[in-house]
Amino acid sequence: MSNILINVSLSDEPAQKRPPAANWKNKNKRYRKKPREFEHRASSSLEGRNNYNHRTGQVLPPRQNGANHSAPPTSSNNTTLPSNSLCSASPSTSAQCHEKPNDSGNTKASPPCSSSQKPTTTQSSSSAAAMPTKFLAIDCEMVGTGPKGSNSQLARCSLVSYDGDVVYDKFINPPVPITDYRTRWSGIRQRDLVNATPYIEARKEILRLLMGKVVIGHAIHNDFKVLGYAHPGVLTRDTSRIPLLNQRAGFAPNEVASLKRLTKAIFNRDIQTGRKGHSSVEDARATMQLYRVVEEQWERTLASKAQNT
């Protein structure tokens, strides 16, 4: 009897310590949930599932391999932006560039970004671009003073640029009484000089413009004479004494051809026509055009002569 009682008691003792079956099922459920929670946390980080220790239920720190990677930038709507986008895509603002980390962990500044990578270059100004201010053509109209109008006085002066633009054009009142207006040639009438610029004032204005310029004229010594002025010879060009122009026109090399004949022969254009007389602006423009026909060859000839002397 006693043995039977002992066996029953021994079999009942472990049965009291063993937890109910329901408790074991609850514990198993808790242990199953923990790995899933940790896996969810690990997957949301940049380290991935490989950094999660399933045995201990802990997330291991990232391995140090020399590169420090960071999460890619995200926009406000939680969409991942491309990692190679270095410049802002806004067309209304200038492109902004950011620093892109290289593989060694050091930041390297990328070159400036712009909508166009073509550099802007400035074109050097050619010699022709400076010619309108370097060259001036002059023509003067005279009236007669003294007995029978034998003395010439300045009554109009015109200056044009290399391109034929009028730089100066004024009627000028001579300092002495006029005895012959020479309207047939000069185109000057008495009414033109009523409010004309006084000679002394006009002369100062003209000489100021001629200073340092290459001055071109036809029989230019007559223009300088009425101005009482001597321009430097190296800066003076007289189209009435250019053999190259005579050659183009078919005239003798040493012939002093008039401006009207040269213009007709080379350009097939008539000037100084009609009964109203000459126009100093028209004559100055024709003179400049004649000079430009032989400019390059003539200037080369003058340069070679200067070197030989």
pLDDT digits (tens, 9 = 90+) for 12-53: 444 444 555 555 455 555 545 444 544 444 444 444 445 555
pLDDT value of position 18: 52
pLDDT reported for residue 59: 54
Mean pLDDT value across residues 97-103: 41
Higher pLDDT, 5 or 159: 159
Percent of the chain with pLDDT over 90: 53
Map tokens 């003179």 to a residue.
287
pLDDT at 38: 47
Q: Show Cβ contacts of residue 103 under 8 Å, excluding neighbours closer than 6 positions.
A: 67
Is the pLDDT at 170 greater than 90? The verdict is yes
Give the 3-state secondary structure of residue 187.
coil
User: Residue 244, SS3?
Assistant: helix
Local confidence band at 276 (pLDDT 50, 70, 90 cut-offs):
confident
pLDDT digits over 50-90, tens only? 555 555 555 555 554 444 444 444 444 444 444 443 333 33
Phi, psi of 69 (to 5 degrees): -90, 145
Residue 98: the pLDDT is 40
Angle between helices 220-227 and 199-210 (to 10 degrees): 130
pLDDT at residue 116 tops 90: no
